[in-house]
Amino acid sequence: MTALICGSIAYDTVMVFPGRFRDHILPDRIHMLNVAFLVPSMQRNFGGCAGNIAYNLGLLGVDAAPMATVGNDFGPYRNWMNSCGMRSEHVRVLEDQYTAQAFITTDLDDNQITAFHPGAMNQSQINHVPDDPGIGLGVVAPDGREGMLQHAVEFAEAGIPMLFDPGQGLPMFDGPELEDFIDKATWIAVNDYEGKLLEERTGISLERIAARVQALIVTRGAAGSLIFSGGREIAIPAARADAVVDPTGCGDAYRAGLICGITRQLDWETTGRLASLMGAIKVTRAGTQNHRLDLASLGDLFHSAFGRSL
């Protein structure tokens, strides 16, 4: 079974300013802001939700194919995907666009200034869910607005079970549109903030949303996560990380654990813990695709984290 991951592929350029923004921004001059920060430290990472989820699924031995639109600067990312054994046949290059990219500057207080250029991601609707009987699960992750709407319809029409993972794309949709996503989804994954926004936009409580899908998963960072399924509320503990280095991409790693558990037909208690473990593995490394996993040791890592067998 292949998991088709519809979402963004992006470059993340992360820069560190060895000072504090507050020392250079004058509150009484904020209406005419003109500042520059010298950033001697810079790292370019491969990111985007589709790329991140597919990378983590590869670590777990799950066949995953990201589907995304990228630009004429995709070459280095493609080389990276090839070196990791990631599939790219559903990644479409638009020669007149740039690949989506985020430029993030962080100061010594962990404040961030981010600029995001969507580039080719805004044309994601030109990609279509392929007629492939091998696709057994679909994901609609943050992407171009029209693409997210279209791909949800295509999964539903093809009868492919779908995980709706709106992430930072959730504010693009109004209540009726989000309710339509809910009706097409088999599973929904949000963090606690997104869950509250989903309730507000739709006027439907999380409990009532959960009753309309097989499972609703709500992540809560270090507090673990909740899985609502079959009238039950299952509390999933957070796996303890060896070190907390960079939380960016932990949500995507968590979702890969969910997808792995679903494809292997594990129970929700086990699936949620596997997802939590993947987030803990990711947080120990900077960047979203720089962590590693020895699949042979996964069972031992799981038992060490939760005191139970995988």
| Whole-angstrom distance, CA of residue 213 vs CA of residue 200 | 18
Which pLDDT belongs to residue 29? 72
Q: Is the dihedral of CA 197, 202, 205, 209 positive or negative?
A: negative
Degrees, nearest 5: CA angle 306-229-4: 85
Which pLDDT belongs to residue 31? 74
CA distances from 52 to 49, 77, 271 (A): 5, 12, 19
Residue 112's pLDDT band (cuts 50, 70, 90): confident
Which pLDDT belongs to residue 91? 98
For 213, which DSSP code?
Answer: S
Q: 3-class SS at 211?
A: coil
The 10s digit of each residue's pLDDT in 86-100 is 999 999 999 999 999
Which pLDDT belongs to residue 109? 84
CA 105 to chain CA centroid, nearest Å: 21
Cβ 163 vs Cβ 6: under 8 Å: no
Q: Which structure tokens are listed for 182?
A: 């809910």
3 state SS for 234-287? EEECCCCCCCCCCCCCHHHHHHHHHHHHHHCCCCHHHHHHHHHHHHHHHCCCCC
Residue 114 has pLDDT above 90, yes or no: no
Residue 30 has pLDDT above 80, yes or no: no
Helical axes 175-184 vs 145-158, angle rounded to 10°: 30
What mean pLDDT do residues 127-151 have?
Answer: 97
Cβ 298 vs Cβ 273: under 8 Å: no
Degrees, nearest 5: CA angle 27-31-34: 85
User: Could you identify the residue written with the tokens 């794309």?
Assistant: 169
Q: 3-class SS at 305?
A: helix
Which pLDDT belongs to residue 193? 94
Residue 239's pLDDT band (cuts 50, 70, 90): very high
Residue 32 has pLDDT above 80, yes or no: no
- DSSP track, 70-118: EETT-HHHHHHHHHHT---TTEEEETTSPPEEEEEEE-TT--EEEEEE-
Helical axes 268-282 vs 49-59, angle rounded to 10°: 110
Where are the chain's structural domains?
Answer: 2-26+37-306
How do beta strands 100-106 and 112-117 pair? antiparallel
Pick the CATH number of 2-26+37-306 from 3.40.1190.20, 2.40.160.40, 1.20.120.10, 3.90.800.10: 3.40.1190.20
Average pLDDT for the chain = 95
Segment holding 156, helix H or strand E: helix 145-158
The 10s digit of each residue's pLDDT in 241-295 is 988 888 889 999 999 999 999 999 999 999 999 999 999 999 999 889 999 999 9
Which pLDDT belongs to residue 34? 84
User: Could you identify the residue written with the tokens 């492939």?
Assistant: 132
User: Which amino acid is located at 255 in the chain?
Assistant: R
Residue 304 has pLDDT above 90, yes or no: yes
Which pLDDT belongs to residue 155? 98
Q: Residues for the chain: how many in total?
A: 310
Which pLDDT belongs to residue 25? 80
Expressed in angstroms, the distance from the first to the final Cα of the chain is: 21
Residue 187's pLDDT band (cuts 50, 70, 90): very high
Segment holding 81, helix H or strand E: helix 75-84
pLDDT higher for 22 or 235?
235
Q: What percent of the chain has pLDDT over 90?
A: 84
The 10s digit of each residue's pLDDT in 117-126 is 999 999 999 9
What mean pLDDT do residues 156-160 have?
Answer: 97
